[in-house]
Amino acid sequence: MLKLFLPNKQVKSVFDIQPMELKEKGIKAIITDLDNTLVAWDCPDATPELLEWFQQMRDHGIKVLIVSNNNQKRVSTFSTPLDIPYIFEARKPMGKAFRRAIQLLDVKREETVVIGDQLLTDIFGGNRSGFYTILVLPVAQTDGFWTRFNRRIERRIMKVFKRKGLITWEENK
């Protein structure tokens, strides 16, 4: 059961994820979380660096879709100006939003990577649904109410993984 919380890969940020590396793995699409994965949870807009990262993905033919547990206003405000499709109130880690995402992207599960900053929602949900998963360090040091609760549980799981040599989360900070 604990293995479902273990990401396939861990990186410091989305900027460490390169399109050529994804293409070599047969990846054609990215399902990514928004808050504290792409930008801070209280930041409404993409940074210039993030805009460049999105463009690199597009230039290499990799589709991007945002799947967030946040509300429509938050996700739409961020995604719409960038012309990035999104799913809001996704109820991650439940699988419905992930299945809907690959439908919208018109790709297969094995051609898709799930990127996120939380083990309990992004990684667990992605793994449960059979996706390749990448864990990133949170962009911000602060979180919303429910995420703070999740982080407490996450830290316990991380300690087990670290003790077993399966993850180097704290060493990335």
Query: Residue 161 is part of which domain span?
Result: 2-172
Report yes or no on whether pTM surpasses 0.75: yes
Alpha helices in 25-69 (DSSP H): 48-59
Here the CATH number for the domain that contains residue 154 is 3.40.50.1000
Task: Give the whole-angstrom CA distance, residue 101 versus residue 107.
Answer: 9
DSSP states of 103-170 as a string? HHHT--GGGEEEEES-IIIIIHHHHHTT-EEEEE--SSS---HHHHHHHHHHHHHHHHHHHTTS--HH
| 59-98 pLDDT, tens digit each | 999 999 999 999 999 999 999 999 999 999 999 999 999 9
Tally the domains of the chain.
Answer: 1
Task: Give the whole-angstrom CA distance, residue 153 versus residue 149.
Answer: 7
Q: How sure is the predictor about 154, in pLDDT bands with cuts at 50, 70 and 90?
A: confident
How distant, in Å, are the alpha carbons of 7, 93, 172 from that of 161? Answer: 11, 20, 14
Both structure tokens of 32: 């990514």
